[in-house]
A and B are shown apart, each in its own frame.
Chain A
């Protein structure tokens, strides 16, 4: 199984809502990532988890809260978002975070709209 799955595919939420995005992989990868992609822009890294520990936070606002409960699962908890947070949220995984473990496998993304 060489797939990264993300749920839901689409999410519409109000600014006062709390929601979560879910990402799952069963490739035995020990590094997982969250990226944000605005329309017609390249993906931007948000968080890196290595061996279930947060190793990189790219100064992401606290209204985005990542969680890695086990090596296969990555969540992104959303609270009090702003309309400008509307974007495609991509999850990725790789065997390890560093060294010559080149390939990151990306999921199809969750399209988030904040009203």
Chain B
């Protein structure tokens, strides 16, 4: 499985934008880039995913580099509720492959949001 590299931790102030980076230099052409987050004492929560183009949803934006070897999750205005571990994950697209449907979580980035 292709691996991702994220900073161990990041800090932000409330109501400021947060840019969470992820490197995935061995990404294959059929890997989707997924982001999940896990709040304390909860199961992981889907944030966003993309393949090649930048993506926006109500929670965040995902900016994908042109060569797809890195991506950035953007939280436009951090709130205290955004304090969590953020996981960047590569997920294989191919049906029938051995990694079909598989999410392999890395260590993630612990985001601390200060009031």
Could you tell me which A residues sit within 8 Å of B by CB distance? 4, 31, 33, 42-45, 48, 50, 55-56, 90, 92, 94, 96-100, 102-109
Q: How far is the CA of A1 from the CA of B80 in the complex (A)?
A: 27
CB-contact partner of B87 in A42, A44, A45, A105, under 8 A:
A42
Which B residues between 31 and 67 are near A, CB-CB below 8 angstroms?
32, 34, 36, 38, 42-46, 49, 51
22 contacts between A and B (CB under 8 A): A33-B101, A42-B106, A42-B107, A43-B38, A44-B105, A45-B102, A45-B103, A48-B102, A55-B101, A56-B99, A92-B43, A96-B101, A98-B92, A99-B93, A100-B93, A102-B32, A102-B34, A102-B91, A104-B46, A104-B103, A105-B46, A106-B44
14 further A-B contacts with Cβ under 8 Å, apart from A98-B93, A98-B94, A102-B32, are A33-B101, A42-B105, A42-B107, A43-B38, A45-B102, A90-B44, A94-B101, A98-B95, A98-B101, A100-B32, A103-B49, A104-B46, A104-B103, A106-B43
Chain A proximity of B89: nearest CB distance (Å): 9
Contacts of B98 in A (CB 8 A): 56
Of residues 96 to 115 in B, which have CB atoms within 8 Å of A's CB atoms? 96-108
Question: Are the C-beta atoms of B34 and A99 separated by less than 8 Å?
Answer: no
Residues of A within 8 A of B99 (CB): 56
Question: Which residues of B pack against A, CB within 8 Å?
Answer: 32, 34, 36, 38, 42-46, 49, 51, 85, 87, 91-108
Question: Which residues does chain B contribute within 8 Å of A102, judged by CB atoms?
Answer: 32, 34, 46, 49, 91
When chains A and B are docked, how far (Å) is the Cα of A90 from the Cα of B93? 23
Q: Residues of A contacting B108 with CB < 8 Å?
A: 42
How far, in angstroms, from A73 to B91 measured CA to CA in the complex? 24
Judging by beta carbons under 8 Å apart, are B102 and A56 in contact?
A: yes
Residues of chain B with a CB closer than 8 A to A55's CB: 100-101
Contact of A97 with B100 at beta-carbon distance under 8 Å, contacts A42-B87, A106-B45, A107-B43 already known: yes
